[in-house]
Amino acid sequence: MQCSRVLGIEGTAWSLSAAIVGWDKVYAEAAHPYVPETGGIHPMMAAQHHANYISQIIRQVLDSGYDFDGVAFSQGPGLGPCLRTVATAARALALAYEVPLIGVNHCVAHIEVGRWQTGCHDPVVLYVSGANSQVIAFRRGRYRVFGETLDIGIGNALDKFGRHLGLQHPGGPKIEALAKEGKNYIPLPYVVKGMDLSYSGMMSAAKEAATKYPKEDVCFSLQENAFAMLVEVTERALAHTGKNEVLIGGGVGANMRLQQMLDTMCRDRGAKFYAPARKFFGDNGAMIAYTGLLQLKYDQTIPVEASAVNPIYRTDEVEIPWL
């Protein structure tokens, strides 16, 4: 169908955000992130936060005055209570404005916003966020997962280690800053199994190392080790698929050391590395709205009665007719 703009809402975990997006740009956006005072993300507290602030952020984007042809929301994967809160608001909005409702897979949205923002076409995607670490590539109508973590996501691993050091959530950016001061590499378990990764053993070893070595050195070693694992699997996916572009997405993608390592690997093999602007890495409403726009064009809308959320929605469950 002909469509020009979609209103999208994100709220799978910490980020509560909404945006109105057209094919050319983001027309309006508003966000109210959930920041836990202590510890990590508590699903019920995050959902309560979203319930408290969702009308405020939706009001802010509506006040921009831009109209829209559909309402998109992250249907999953994510924390159940958060997903349900956002879905309820999206359903109400679609009904009130008499526009189609569009359920968006959050991981696919990270990929599509990256393709949109960088202009790459058919990349191997390294998607690294709080809960997810996946190496993805398009093949026969879907984004296929070529490799992924077998236990925790790289972002959660960094955040847990950060909490162990007494840093406030999220730990990722603070570890990046500490790692810049680190000089000595402390060996940590390097766990790549075929195309898959595992981070839990490395985390235990890093916690142990932090009792003996300067935290800067442990942060440095943790990044070098964890990111080398990601780059290895990404490189093998390039070799298997014969593609020549790499796109990075997800909150951990903002890490400059990870970007540098991927860029070096790409140069060595004659591939091109793509990274979107910083604000499109972490979860954001614009990525949901933009993917909603693509889905609306291909009539991937859902009736309100069949719009249940899916906390374990897999990347490769989604048909991708636009590639």
Q: Which residues bind Mg ion (CB under 5 A)?
A: 129, 283
User: Is residue 221 close enough to count as binding ligand AMP by CB under 6 A?
Assistant: no
Any idea how long the chain is?
A: 323
Cα–Cα dist 8/24, whole Å:
15
User: Is residue 237 close enough to count as binding ligand AMP by CB under 6 A?
Assistant: no
User: Is residue 123 close enough to count as binding ligand AMP by CB under 6 A?
Assistant: no
User: Is residue 133 close enough to count as binding ligand AMP by CB under 6 A?
Assistant: no
Closest distance of CB 223 from ligand AMP, Å: 8
First-to-last alpha carbon distance for the chain, in angstroms, is 17
Please identify, using beta-carbon distances, which residue of 46 and 94 lies nearer to ligand AMP.
46
Helix (H) or strand (E) holding 306: none
Neighbour-count burial for 298-314, b at 16+ CB within 10 Å, e otherwise: eebbbeeeebebebebe
Residue among 29, 112, 159, 217 that touches ligand AMP (CB under 6 A) = 159
User: Is residue 10 close enough to count as binding ligand AMP by CB under 6 A?
Assistant: no
Closest distance of CB 105 from Mg ion, Å: 11
- Among residues 108, 120, 117, which one has the least CA distance to residue 72? 108
Q: What is the number of the residue whose Cβ is closest to Mg ion? A: 129
Binding region for ligand AMP (CB under 6 A) out of 83-91, 144-152, 197-205, 250-258: 250-258
Please identify, using beta-carbon distances, which residue of 100 and 292 lies nearer to Mg ion.
292
User: Is residue 155 close enough to count as binding ligand AMP by CB under 6 A?
Assistant: yes
Cα–Cα dist 296/122, whole Å:
21
- Angle at Cα 152 formed by Cα 309 and Cα 167, nearest 5°? 105
Closest distance of CB 143 from Mg ion, Å: 14
Binding region for ligand AMP (CB under 6 A) out of 39-47, 56-64, 88-96, 171-179: 171-179
Closest distance of CB 215 from ligand AMP, Å: 16
- CA-based radius of gyration for the chain: 19
User: Is residue 182 close enough to count as binding ligand AMP by CB under 6 A?
Assistant: no
CA dihedral 29, 154, 79, 89 (to 10 degrees): 10
Copy the structure tokens of residue 183.
Answer: 């000089």
Task: Provide the pairing of β-strand 71-76 with 101-105.
Answer: parallel
- Token pair 């199994």 is at which residue? 193
> Please, are residues 50 and 11 in contact by the beta-carbon 8 Å criterion?
yes
Residue among 105, 117, 129, 221 that touches ligand AMP (CB under 6 A) = 129
70 interface partner picked from Mg ion, ligand AMP, none, CB below 5 to 8 A per type: none
> Please, are residues 128 and 250 in contact by the beta-carbon 8 Å criterion?
yes
User: Is residue 252 close enough to count as binding ligand AMP by CB under 6 A?
Assistant: yes
# of chain residues touching ligand AMP (CB under 6 A): 19
Cα–Cα dist 34/52, whole Å:
11
Closest distance of CB 305 from Mg ion, Å: 27
Enumerate binding residues for ligand AMP (CB under 6 A).
13, 15, 129-130, 155, 158-159, 170-173, 176, 250-252, 254-255, 282-283
